[in-house]
């Protein structure tokens, strides 16, 4: 970690006890991977233990509520994704939390393109084959979605490919991918960090990556544009936040520590191996990006005629 050492009383004494990272998805998700990596680095940087607690379910509501119910002292950090920090706003008539006013951004962590996967024994060996089958049988094929973000990605796919596949919800990306591997559902979208090992190991078949360029992690996997769906890009991003009631000093110290980790060369290398990339920018950059994402997914939800959830 270079010259940086554990936090001491000389720099305000924060943090002086264990920090808890609350993750709204289960182990194996890109959000969980980020939380555990940043948690290890933060522990090295501060000398204080960092505990990662997975609280999946209820579209991330359980995890957010836990963060907001905890003392607003900087020791409970929400590590969330585009689903909980942006997409939920576009999918629900009302939320039990406001991601823009009740949470204070700390820093953006990473962004990973989504991949479209099917079971290894699926009859659909290509994107063309999947689209043709879906067009021939409207409403018959279904997609598993481990979060609101993945649901909107699939609905965007439905809209752009002129198909009708049906939503099957799961508590986490890992559960959705397990269902695909077992042929319980026909397809799913997942960020490359969550799907990479399963694809490499032959437990999933990847048909396309929703990015404007191929990923070094899966260089043989064509982009959706190469396969006839130009403009179909979607990614998962992860960021950290605390309760908006957290004092400014603790919020700024956490933001500084996490940004320091984000800038490490080894952090960039860690994500590159998974096919993802770090996201530069601190709290204000994250706030602006979050607002842009909310507006974008609202537009897509309207265009895809997604029925808002209660």
Q: How many domains does the chain have?
A: 2
> Would you say residue 244 lies in a domain?
yes
Instruction: Record the pTM.
Output: 0.82
* Domain end position, chosen among 210, 227, 247: 210
Q: Is the peptide bond before 133 cis (omega within 30 degrees of 0)?
A: no
- Residue 15 gets the label, from left (phi > 0), alpha (psi -120 to 50) or beta, of beta
Pairing of the two strands 166-169 and 142-145: parallel
> Is residue 18 domain-shared with residue 96, that is, in the same domain?
yes
Could you tell me if 107 and 13 lie in one domain? yes
Would you write out the chain's pLDDT as a tens digit for each of its 310 residues? 343 444 433 356 899 999 999 999 888 778 999 999 999 999 999 999 999 999 998 889 999 999 999 999 999 999 999 999 999 999 999 999 999 999 999 999 999 999 999 999 999 999 999 999 999 999 999 999 988 889 999 999 999 999 999 999 998 888 999 999 999 999 999 989 889 899 999 999 999 999 999 998 899 999 999 999 999 999 989 999 999 999 999 999 999 999 999 999 999 999 998 889 998 778 999 999 999 999 989 988 998 888 888 8
For residue 65, give the nearest of 89, 95, 36, 92 by alpha carbon.
95
170, 28: one domain:
no
Nearest-angstrom CA–CA distance, 36 and 53:
10
- Domain boundary (210, 228, 249) is at 210
What stretches of the chain show up as alpha helix (H) in DSSP? 30-46, 61-69, 82, 88-91, 127-136, 148-161, 173-181, 192-200, 248-262, 265-273, 283-303
Supply the pLDDT for residue 7: 43
- Closest residue by Cα to residue 29 from 5, 3, 60: 60
Same domain, 54 and 118: no
Range of the domain at 154: 113-210
Residue 194 has a pLDDT of 85
- Note whether 165 and 135 are same-domain residues: yes
Provide the β-strand partners of residue 22: 53, 78
């Amino acid at each position: 970690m270079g010259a940086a050492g554990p936090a001491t009383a000389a720099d305000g004494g924060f943090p002086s006890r264990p920090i808890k990272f609350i993750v709204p998805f289960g182990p194996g998700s890109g959000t969980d991977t980020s939380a555990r990596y940043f948690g290890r680095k933060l522990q090295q940087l501060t000398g204080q233990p960092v505990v990662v607690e997975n609280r999946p379910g209820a579209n991330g509501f359980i995890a957010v509520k836990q963060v907001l119910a905890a003392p607003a002292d900087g020791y409970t950090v929400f590590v969330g994704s585009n689903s909980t920090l942006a997409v939920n706003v576009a999918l629900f008539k009302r939320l039990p939390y406001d991601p823009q006013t009740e949470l204070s951004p700390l820093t953006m962590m990473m962004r990973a393109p989504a991949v479209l996967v099917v079971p290894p024994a699926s009859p659909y060996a290509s994107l063309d084959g999947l689209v043709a089958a879906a067009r021939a049988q409207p409403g018959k094929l279904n997609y598993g979605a481990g979060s609101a973000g993945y649901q909107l990605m699939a609905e965007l796919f439905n809209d752009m490919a002129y198909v009708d596949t049906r939503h099957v919800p799961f508590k986490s990306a890992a559960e959705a991918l397990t269902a695909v591997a077992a042929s319980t559902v026909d397809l799913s979208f997942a960020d490359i960090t969550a799907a990479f090992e399963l694809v490499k190991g032959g437990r999933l078949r990847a048909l396309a990556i929703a990015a404007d360029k191929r990923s070094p992690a899966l260089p043989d996997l064509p982009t959706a544009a190469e396969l006839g769906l130009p403009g179909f890009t979607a990614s998962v991003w992860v960021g950290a936040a605390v309760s908006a009631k957290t004092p400014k000093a603790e919020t700024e110290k956490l933001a500084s520590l996490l940004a320091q980790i984000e800038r490490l060369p080894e952090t960039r290398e860690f994500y590159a191996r998974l096919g993802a990339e770090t996201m530069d920018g601190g709290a204000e950059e994250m706030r602006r990006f979050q607002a842009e994402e909310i507006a974008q997914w609202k537009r897509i939800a309207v265009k895809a005629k997604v029925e808002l959830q209660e």
